[in-house]
Chain A
Amino acid sequence: MALEKHDNKNLGGGRPVAEKGEHIVARHLIEDDNIKEEKNLVIDGVDVSGRWNTFIISRVNSDFDRSFFEEIKKTVVGSRINRCWQCGMCTASCTVTPLYRRFNPRAFIYMMQLGNLKELKKYIDVAWRCVGCYKCSQRCPKQVNPAEMMEALALVIKKYFQEEVKTKLKLDEEVKKIYEDMIIGHGRLDLAKLHTSAMQKSGKTKELFGKIERGAILKMLKDGRAFSVLRLGKPHNWSSSKEAIENYLHKLNTIENSEAGV
């Protein structure tokens, strides 16, 4: 049930599963040029045609950036990055991976450990799709907490790829902003407002007046739930909490600082 669209022309976006080396698991992690395949291959007199004639040329990665690793380790969500020993249990249990093959938590954590920004950049368009189901964290043998590591990944992407965030992750960022404004600003969440403004941001204004949405809104108006949303209000003295939270976020010297990213 893969949802990912395979676009053969656009190698940067939806990378195709090429004929070349297509039976390699996590094929998307390997560059096309690094796969060697022969039609007919005989080694020491043994015919190894078929699957056995696929070779991956080893690559050397010399541009490590360990400062990057320390940067992640200082955050709350990424504090356990040093524990990962790359068993792949997170990817094996992932809810999103069967839908989007290129979403691979194990590989993301590896790239973060190495500070390999060049590789990470290729996955900006899928990296935000984590649904936070915590299956990975449940099954991780080293308690790395990969589900929260994906939050650390979002912080990293926000800091180092500002241009891409503005174009490719526009919707995700805008919805996050709506959430934050409500949670920090008002202390409570107005679900009706969240829903309508998110629909508008994603360009579904037309759908908002469609039959299904109209039916739901009418139903809530009839049974009075629409008015309870209006009555939700703010907690008393929330402004002092709001100020304290904002001050804390400005004073932080990690990438969680609200100014480090934006």
Chain B
Amino acid sequence: MDKLKENQAAYYPGCALLTIDRAYNNSSKLVSKKMGIELVEIPDYNCCGIGEMKSKGAASMYMPLRNMMIAKNKLGSKNLIMACSVCYHEFSRSITRVKENQNELSAVNAIFKEAGEFNEEYIPDGEARHILEFLYNEKGVEEVKKNVVKPLKGLKVAPYYGCLYSRPSMYTFTDKKPKMDNSERPRFMHEFLEALGAETVFYGNEVQCCGGRNVVQDEETSFALCSQTISKAKKAGADVIALICPKCAGALDVNQPKIVEKFGKDSKLPIVYLTQLMALAFGFSKKEAEFSDMISEPLKVLNEKGF
């Protein structure tokens, strides 16, 4: 595979984005391209471990770092961009840990050596970057404003950051590096949405948890947390909730019919991805932004509002 050109960036899709959350994947690529950066998928990626490998020592770090090695060897890129917050967490966790701990680095390198896929050792010199932070810092709010052709006037959006985009700062370096978001009160998504012409609402659950990690084994907890978030956003007058993580979508969007069944109509609100709204404002059609993929039916609201 060819090395990257100047306006290209190495991109890690992850398992969810290539399958059921393709709307997030495709709209991320559309939006980035419009803003002047082409996302190039790394070949032969493997799962990041989605938090289920943590109790397995250095093996949990091998999973994401293998992808960093691919990006370096095949695409010549030290950094890797991803849209999924869980992947972002796993990557930044592994990179930070091996940077700070020589024992863990050599344990990971021992696995690399045994697998024999790469001729070199892993050196922690790259970074994992979340697409929201990447676009904000590399292109900026002005670039978003420039590209808007169909402002989202009159749309009230509740930005939902979830957990792992801004937390914990020991891995993501929120608060610690000048260009990073705030960990307790992130604002990058707010600024993007306002640049699109939409109105953001304050509802207090922006960085709360959706219980997504235990969504298959502990529905009860996840449903209670999601119902709280959705009903708070609804009370604050939001038309839609904007997400930046497919795991949050799994809990808030895919499970929404079940949550409504349990907690009533207060827990019913359309869910969209931030990048879908950006694509819509950038002039792509609703079909291209794949709003119909969402189970919570955001198309209804968008049609009503005349977008």
Contacts and interface: CB of A to CB of B under 8 A. Distances in A.
A132 B51 contact: yes
Contact of A3 (B62, B183, B224): B224
A81 interface: no
B41 interface: no
Interface residues of A, number: 71
Given A145-B168, A232-B18, A247-B114, A183 B55 contact: no
Contact of A248 (B16, B58, B212, B261): B58
A202 interface: yes
Nearest to A135: B167
Given A129-B221, A175-B217, A191 B19 contact: yes
A50 interface: no
B215 to A, nearest CB: 9
B292 A151 contact: no
Interface in A89-112: 95-96, 99-100
Contacts, number: 179
Contact of A99 (B115, B169, B224): B224
A254 B111 contact: no
A129 B220 CA distance: 11
Consensus secondary structure, chain A interface: helix
Interface stretch (A11-19, A27-35, A54-62, A216-224): A216-224
Contact of B55 (A100, A129, A237, A256): A256
A76 B96 CA distance: 13
Contacts of B115: 240-241, 243-244
> Range of interface residues on chain B?
35 or more
A19 B63 CA distance: 51
A252 interface: yes
A228 B18 contact: yes
Given A191-B20, A228-B19, A238-B46, A75 B57 contact: yes
A183 B58 contact: no
Interface of A: 1, 3, 75-77, 95-96, 99-100, 129, 131-135, 137-138, 143, 145, 147-148, 151-152, 154-155, 171-172, 175-176, 179-180, 182-184, 187-192, 194-195, 198-199, 202, 212, 215-216, 219-220, 223, 225, 228-229, 232, 235-238, 240-241, 243-245, 247-249, 252, 254, 256, 258
Given A189-B50, A212-B261, 9 more contacts: A77-B55, A131-B209, A131-B218, A132-B213, A198-B216, A199-B216, A212-B257, A241-B115, A247-B114
